[in-house]
Amino acid sequence: MRGSGVFPKYLFQAMLLLGLLLWGNAASLASTDQPDRPLTLTHGAIGLDKLSNLRNGEVIGGFKYDLIEEMGRRLNLPTNHVVCPFQRCLRDMKSGIVNIMVFIAVTPSRSHYLDFLHPWPVPYTIPFHVRLGEEDRLQRYEDFYKLNVGVVNGYSYFDRFDNDERIQKTVVLKEAQLPKMLSANRIDAYVGFNIGKENLEQEYPEITTAPYTHKFSETALLAISKDSPLRNHLPELNRVVQDMIDDGTMDEFWHNNFQGYSPPYYNGPDSGDEQQATSEQEPANDAP
């Protein structure tokens, strides 16, 4: 019969096509529609203690390391931790060299090149530091116009302050430089939250917190580069992060690294009590 040879031929083609479709649906995120840019979690690590612990210039642990590694395991993706100063990390996110960062302030300018996952209003206030005995120099926002204020390059604190060109600002690469400059009378005040209150008081007893404070900008748990194949998988990334929050993995990582400190990310309705970022409740948050 003429039809007897035709039917198996088309049946075979149909089965082959079905098999390819099923294989494609079952494949992990490691397969990508941009073969020249393999899909990986390339993490921009700032290198602060217990967030991204460094040894010989390489990330070996910390909360962010644990978070990215677990995401890679659940998504079946390779991971890479790139150590970079904050501003360079942002530049590399813009170009896609780095494609994921943890704890990033949400700003309009950054939204042009970043997608934000799990943003939340940060329940902490920004501490401003002055020399002991000079607390009255910074009691309200308008006092900034009479001061030279130290800030970190690329950091976002809150919109009004960030965009106020009338404030004289001295910009540095790392926050650790600022208390030294304040002690040496090179600046009049600085914005700081990476050095815990107790450590600051021990190392610099001549520095204290000013009466004026302000809420942080809204912060995202993760930022994803828009110039990266990773952004094609935002729903999967979002789901994995939510699963890690729901099953307690995120809290486990946090408390393994910051025992006794409440997490700075949103993990339920009871996490919104306003505190000052240098209080005993909040350790470093390195990427505002």
pLDDT tens digit string along 169-182?
999 988 889 999 99
Task: Return mean pLDDT, the chain.
Answer: 81
DSSP classification of residue 188: S
- Beta strands in 90-240, from DSSP E residues, in sequence order: 100-105, 114-120, 124-131, 148-152, 168-172, 189-191, 207-215, 219-225
Over 70: is that where the pLDDT of 140 sits?
yes
Residue 224 has what pLDDT? Answer: 97
Q: What is the mean pLDDT of residues 18-23?
A: 36
Residue 268 has what pLDDT? Answer: 55
**Phi/psi of residue 134, each to 5°?**
-115, 25
Fold of 124-215: D-Maltodextrin-Binding Protein; domain 2 (3.40.190)
Residue 122 has what pLDDT? Answer: 74
The torsion region of residue 138 among left (phi > 0), alpha (psi -120 to 50) and beta comes to: beta
Domain residue spans of the chain: 41-122+218-276, 124-215
d(Cα 143, Cα 145) in Å, to the nearest integer? 5
Residue 235 has what pLDDT? Answer: 95
206 contact partners, CB below 8 Å, separation of at least 6: 131, 132, 183
Kindly state the helix (H) or strand (E) to which residue 182 belongs, with its residue range: helix 177-183
d(Cα 64, Cα 38) in Å, to the nearest integer? 22
**Looking at per-residue confidence, does 154 or 119 come out higher?**
119
Residue 266 has what pLDDT? Answer: 63
Instruction: Give the up-direction half-sphere exposure of residue 29: CA atoms within 13 A in the CB hemisphere.
Output: 22
For the stretch 67-109, pLDDT in tens is 999 999 999 999 999 999 888 999 999 999 999 999 998 988 8
Fold of 41-122+218-276: D-Maltodextrin-Binding Protein; domain 2 (3.40.190)
Residue 261 has what pLDDT? Answer: 76
Enter the tokens of residue 17.
Answer: 């096509």
For the stretch 252-282, pLDDT in tens is 999 999 887 778 776 654 444 444 443 333 3
Q: Do domains 41-122+218-276 and 124-215 have the same CATH topology?
A: yes
Residue 202 has what pLDDT? Answer: 84
Confidence class for position 24, pLDDT limits 50, 70, 90: very low
DSSP 238-272: HHHHHHHHHTTHHHHHHHHHSTT---SS--SGGG-
